[in-house]
Chains A and B, each alone.
Chain A
Amino acid sequence: AQSVTQLGSHVSVSEGALVLLRCNYSSSVPPYLFWYVQYPNQGLQLLLKYTSAATLVKGINGFEAEFKKSETSFHLTKPSAHMSDAAEYFCAVSDPRRGGATNKLIFGTGTLLAVQP
């Protein structure tokens, strides 16, 4: 069964510092991968998605993620954190073999990012 692991339920960085949020997946085939962001009292918004066209994916708000098959990872980064980046971030995976049947997403447990002034 597919699973997603997000290391670190809480991450704190200083404003202007590098943001690195980790995501590892388990799948026998390269899956579809997504990062979503959840601001307080809001639903999830898509940050970026990987669908095998390119291993480095650029998303909104200056975020990007790199797909590394050898490490089964899809870590999210941003060179310089801003106060407005404080939110919860979710990594999600979809099995392309099943995606056509269910669109089902498996979510990680989330990482809460705090940005200190």
Chain B
Amino acid sequence: EAQVTQNPRYLITVTGKKLTVTCSQNMNHEYMSWYRQDPGLGLRQIYYSMNVEVTDKGDVPEGYKVSRKEKRNFPLILESPSPNQTSLYFCASSFLAGRGGNQPQHFGDGTRLSIL
């Protein structure tokens, strides 16, 4: 089954304790992206990657890191989490838009992070 898998689904942690949210896709997509969803703000892009070893900042990258060592994986790293990073996070993937038109993004089920 084609899917984007995020782990963990829920996490409660404390300020300053490094954490990683994993994301894996099995559709051979080049493009992967992380979003955060906050009430009244919709989804905002944190980081994206167009292929292995190619990553770039989205609209709200502060306090986050990513890596893309393999095509299928795109982990999100919070080196020193703070309460303002409490949010619902989504990973998404798609083929690059150049493949005959724009490509819809496939989303994981989300990771709810609470930073105390």
A-side interface mostly: mixed
Would A102 and B102 count as touching, CB distance under 8 A?
A: no
Binds B, one of A13-21, A42-50, A65-73, A76-84: A42-50
Q: Are A42 and B97 in contact (CB under 8 A)?
A: no
Contact of B105 among A100, A101, A105, A108 (CB under 8 A): A105
Report the nearest B residue to A98, measured CB to CB: B97
Interface string of A90-114 (1 = CB under 8 A from B): 1000101001111111011110000
User: In the assembly, what is the distance between CA of A109 and CA of B44, in Å?
Assistant: 10
Shortest CB-to-CB span from B70 to chain A, Å, is 19
Residues of B within 8 A of A96 (CB): 97, 102
Q: Are A103 and B110 in contact (CB under 8 A)?
A: no
Chain A interface residue count, CB cutoff 8 Å, equals 26
B residues 85-116 near A (Cβ < 8 Å) are 90, 92, 94, 96-98, 101-110
> Is B31 a contact partner of A90 (Cβ separation < 8 A)?
no
Residue in B42, B58, B97, B104 with the greatest tally of chain A CB atoms within 10 Å: B104
Most chain B beta carbons < 10 A, residue from A34, A90, A109: A109
- Expressed in whole angstroms, the Cα–Cα distance for A32 and B50 within the complex equals 19
B108 to chain A, nearest CB (A): 5
The residue on B at minimum CB distance from A108 is B42
B76 part of interface (Cβ distance < 8 Å) = no
Q: Determine if B19 is an interface residue (Cβ-Cβ < 8 Å).
A: no
Q: Which residue from chain B places its CB closest to the CB of A49 in the assembled complex? A: B104
B97→A94 contact, CB < 8 A = yes
Q: Is the CB of A107 within 8 A of B107?
A: no
B102 contact set on A, CB distance < 8 A? 32, 49, 51, 94, 96, 99, 103
- Bound-complex Cα distance A9 to B96 (A): 31
11 inter-chain pairs at a CB distance below 8 angstroms, sorted by A residue, are A43-B107, A43-B108, A96-B102, A99-B97, A99-B102, A100-B97, A101-B97, A102-B56, A103-B31, A109-B40, A109-B42
Chain B positions near chain A (C-beta within 8 angstroms): 4, 31, 33, 35, 40-45, 48, 50, 56, 58, 90, 92, 94, 96-98, 101-110
